[in-house]
Amino acid sequence: MYCAKKDRRIAVLILLPMLLLLFIFVYGFIAWSLRISFTDWNSIIPNMTLVGFENYARLFESQRFQTDIRNTISFTLFFLVICIVGGFFLSYLLYSKLRGESVLRTIYLFPLSLSFVVTGVLWRWIFSPEVGINSLFRMMGFKATFGWFTSTYSIMGFNVALIALIIAASWQYLGYTMAMFLAGLRGIPDQLIESAQIDGAGELATMWYIILPIIKPITFSAMIVLGHISLKIFDLAYAMTGKGPAFVTDFPGLFMFETTFRGNHYAEGAAISIIMLILVAVVIVPYLYSTLRGDSE
Amino acid sequence: MITKKSSKILKYTLAYIAAILFLFPLYVIFNNSLKPFADVRISEMWIPARNISFEGYAEAFVKLGQNIQNSFMLVIPVSLFSVVFGAIIGFIFAKVKFRYSNIIFAFVIFGMFIPYQSILIPLVRTMNTVGLYGHLSGLIVTHIIYGLPISSLMFRNYYAKLPDELLEAGMIDGLRLAGVFHKVVVPVSLPTMVVVLIWQFTSVWNDFLFAVTLTQRPSIQPITVALQNLAGTQVIEWNVQMAGALIAAIPTLLVYIFLGKYFIQGLLSGSVKG
Please, which pLDDT band fits residue B274 given cuts at 50, 70 and 90?
A: very low
pLDDT for position B92: 95
Most confidently modeled range among A131-145, A266-280, A283-297: A266-280
**Whole-number Å distance between alpha carbons of B89 and B148:** 8
Give the number of other Cβ atoms within 10 Å of residue A44's Cβ.
10
Q: Where in chain A is the domain with CATH 1.10.3720.10?
A: 64-262
CA torsion through residues A109, A207, B11, B48, sign: negative
Give me the half-sphere count of Cα atoms (radius 13 Å) on the Cβ side of residue A170.
Answer: 21
Identify the CA nearest to A119 among candidates A67, A54, A180, A167.
A167
Q: Do B253 and A171 touch (CB under 8 A)?
A: no
pLDDT average, residue stretch A129-149: 83
Cβ-Cβ contacts under 8 Å for B187 (sequence gap 6 or more): none
CA dist., res. A44 & res. A40, Å (int): 11
For residue A76, give every residue at least 6 positions away whose Cβ sits within 8 Å of its Cβ, in sequence order, or none: A227, A230, A231
d(C-alpha B114, C-alpha A275), whole Å = 11
Average pLDDT, chain B: 90
Cβ burial, residue B48 (10 Å; 0-12/13-18/19+): exposed
Q: Is the pLDDT of residue B103 over 70?
A: yes
Per the model's pLDDT, the better-predicted residue between B69 and B32 turns out to be: B69
Mean pLDDT of B46-62: 88
- Which of 122-181 (A) contact B at CB < 8 A? 122-126, 131-132, 135-136, 139, 171, 176, 179-180
pLDDT at B270: 63
Rounded distance, CA A109 to CA B260, Å? 9
* Percent above pLDDT 90 for chain B: 66
User: Which residues of B, range 102-121, sit inside 8 Å of A by Cβ?
Assistant: 102, 104-111, 113-121
Mean per-residue pLDDT of chain A: 91
Do A253 and B256 make contact, defined as CB atoms within 8 angstroms?
Answer: no
**Chain B residues close to A286, C-beta within 8 Å:** none
B100: pLDDT strictly greater than 60: yes
Confidence of residue A146 (pLDDT cuts 50, 70, 90): confident
Residue A31 pLDDT > 90: yes
Query: Per mean pLDDT, which range of A149-163, A168-182, B80-94, B211-225 is the poorest?
Result: A149-163
* A174-214 pLDDT tens trace: 999 999 999 989 888 888 888 888 888 787 888 788 888 88
Backbone angles phi, psi at A154, to 5 degrees: -145, 135
Helix (H, G, I), strand (E, B) or coil at B150: helix
Query: What distance in Å separates residue B226's CA from the closest CA in chain A?
Result: 10
Three-state helix/strand/coil letters over B9-65:
HHHHHHHHHHHHHHHHHHHHHHHHHCCCHHHHHHCCCCCCCCCCCCHHHHHHHHHHH
**Apex CA B134: angle with CA B131 and CA B135, to 5°?**
75
CA distance A80 to A86: 10
Task: At B160, give phi and psi (nearest 5°).
Answer: -60, -25
What is the band of B2 on the pLDDT scale with cuts at 50, 70, 90? low
pTM here is: 0.93
CATH fold of A64-262, please?
A: MetI-like fold (1.10.3720)
List of residues 6+ apart from A151 with CB closer than 8 A: A159, A160, A161, A248
The region of weakest confidence among A152-156, B162-166, B168-172, B198-202 is B168-172
pLDDT of B221 higher than 90:
yes
Residue A154, beta-bridge partner list: A159
Q: Domains (ranges, CATH) in chain B?
A: 55-269 (1.10.3720.10)
Q: Roughly how many angstroms between the first and final C-alpha of chain B, as a whole number?
A: 41
> Residue B186: pLDDT band by 50, 70, 90 thresholds?
very high
> Reduced to 3 states, what is the DSSP secondary structure of residue A232?
coil
Q: What is the pLDDT of residue B97?
A: 82
A274 closest CB neighbour out of B11, B102, B118: B118
Q: Which of B82, B118, B158, B215 to mutate to test the interface with A (most CBs of A within 10 A)?
A: B118
- Rounded to whole angstroms, the Cα distance separating A147 from A161 reads 8
- pLDDT at residue B95 above 70? yes
Q: In which band, very low, low, confident or very high, does the pLDDT at A277 lie, cut at 50, 70 and 90?
A: very high
DSSP, collapsed to helix, strand or coil, labels residue A158 as strand
Beta carbons within 8 Å of A159's beta carbon, 6+ residues apart:
A67, A70, A71, A74, A151, A152, A153, A248, A249
pLDDT at B48 over 90: no
Q: Given this model, what pLDDT does residue A297 score?
A: 41
- Chain B residues in contact with A111 (beta carbon < 8 A): 22, 25
Mean of pLDDT values over B75-94: 96
Suggest the residue from A2, A3, A207 to mutate for an interface test with chain B (most B CBs closer than 10 A). A3
